Homo-oligomer: A and B are copies of this chain.
Amino acid sequence: MVSDRPGGAGNTPTTTPVQGVLLGDPEIMTAYIEAFARYAPQVRLALPEAIKEPEAVTFALAWYPDDTAFEAYPNLRLVSSIAAGVNGILDNPSLPASVPLMRIAGEAQGQMMAGFVAWHVLWHHRRFGEYLANQRRRQWERLPKRDAAEVRVGLLGAGKMGGAVAQALLALGYDVAIYSRSGRNLPAGVEGFSGEAGLGDLAARSEILVTLLPLTPQTRGILNAALFARLPEGAALIHVGRGEHLIEADLLAALDSGQLAGASLDVFATEPLPPTHPFWTHEKITVTPHDACDSTPPQVAQEVAAALAGLEAGQLPVSLVDRDAGY
């Protein structure tokens, strides 16, 4: 947490007052007014209709804003997402080209994601679904077990989330490898893969594949029949990236053929997942409601406060989005 760092922004009492605007669904956005009042009191946040001088607005907190949402604010110095994802902001036609855009990707979110993924890795490895089914039948049946060290987990994505997940899985004893764009900055004890050939090579060694990638033109549809075919037969998928990474029909085909033994899905092309969608009732699929991790309003306020303090001191935000990379 930012506020725990000695000398971090949470301990910095005074910063120049900042006028901020909330761009997005008011039902979601108004929760941030109270959190900022407490954790980033130098920022006055308001919905657009309450802004009297748009020229005075230097900060925007955004989540899937309307296409023209940024137009009224010519003097923005910082735009932030309320979460790790920025695909609903980056493609906004009114987003100014030069303003720094940041996302929320602190340690707390990484830890929360790591717990969620660890639970699903154990679910597949230790076959907890079978234990639950056996309990319903009152059936006492021990299951064959393998050491975690023999179970090869492959992560797609080496950012803060990927790093936190890797650390947790290593602590649980798993054999972890990571595919990423650069193939660099990997945790110790992790084998790295990159490039198109690297993606297939990682898949070929991954009994459990975890998607933690950002959504970019390069990653859209990356979870497809060709990739599933490279996995060892009977592999499992844990998908906590973005719904658009997955070709849904390819997943259903791979599950039905037995190429995949199971899938844990937290993100979907259409959210909420429609009640008639086949994923809900597929016996090899667990569905969770895009809930692997949350950035809470206090975390967002603290990360934005730190970024604003940094900007005053001439530093770009730690979680600055690389617009060319798309995350």
Asked if A131 lies at the interface with its beta carbon under 8 angstroms from chain B, I say yes
Question: Which residues of B lie under 8 Å from residue A171 when comparing CB positions?
Answer: 167-168, 171-172
Question: Which residues of B lie under 8 Å from residue A289 when comparing CB positions?
Answer: 131, 134, 140-142
Most buried by B among A118, A141, A147: A147
Name which of A15-23, A54-62, A122-130 contacts chain B: A122-130
Asked if A246 lies at the interface with its beta carbon under 8 angstroms from chain B, I say no
Q: Is the CB of A111 within 8 A of B280?
A: no
Question: Which residues of B lie under 8 Å from residue A281 when comparing CB positions?
Answer: 138
Residue of B nearest to A287 (CB): B135
The smallest C-beta distance from A83 to any residue of chain B, in angstroms, reads: 13
Asked if A112 lies at the interface with its beta carbon under 8 angstroms from chain B, I say yes
Question: Which residues of B lie under 8 Å from residue A173 when comparing CB positions?
Answer: 111, 114-115
The smallest C-beta distance from A40 to any residue of chain B, in angstroms, reads: 19
Q: Is the CB of A132 within 8 A of B172?
A: no
The smallest C-beta distance from A263 to any residue of chain B, in angstroms, reads: 13
Most buried by B among A145, A272, A293: A145
Interface 0/1 of A134-170, CB less than 8 Å to B: 1100101111010111000000000000000001100
Q: Is the CB of B114 within 8 A of A172?
A: yes
Q: Quick one: which of B126, B167, B273, B294 contacts A119, CB cutoff 8 A? A: B126
Task: Give complex CA distance A112, B144 in Å.
Answer: 12
Task: Give complex CA distance A171, B294 in Å.
Answer: 19
Residue of B nearest to A135 (CB): B287
Using known A-B contacts A122-B118, A171-B167, A172-B171, determine if residue A112 contacts B147 with beta carbons closer than 8 Å.
yes
Asked if A11 lies at the interface with its beta carbon under 8 angstroms from chain B, I say no
Question: Which residues of B lie under 8 Å from residue A75 when comparing CB positions?
Answer: none
Using known A-B contacts A147-B111, A148-B112, A272-B140, determine if residue A118 contacts B172 with beta carbons closer than 8 Å.
yes
Interface 0/1 of A266-288, CB less than 8 Å to B: 00000111010000110000111
Question: Which residues of B lie under 8 Å from residue A134 when comparing CB positions?
Answer: 289
Q: Is the CB of A145 within 8 A of B112?
A: yes
The smallest C-beta distance from A292 to any residue of chain B, in angstroms, reads: 9
With A111-B173, A142-B290 already in contact, 7 other A-B pairs whose C-beta atoms are closer than 8 Å? A112-B148, A118-B172, A119-B119, A119-B128, A140-B273, A140-B289, A142-B294
The smallest C-beta distance from A277 to any residue of chain B, in angstroms, reads: 8
Asked if A64 lies at the interface with its beta carbon under 8 angstroms from chain B, I say no
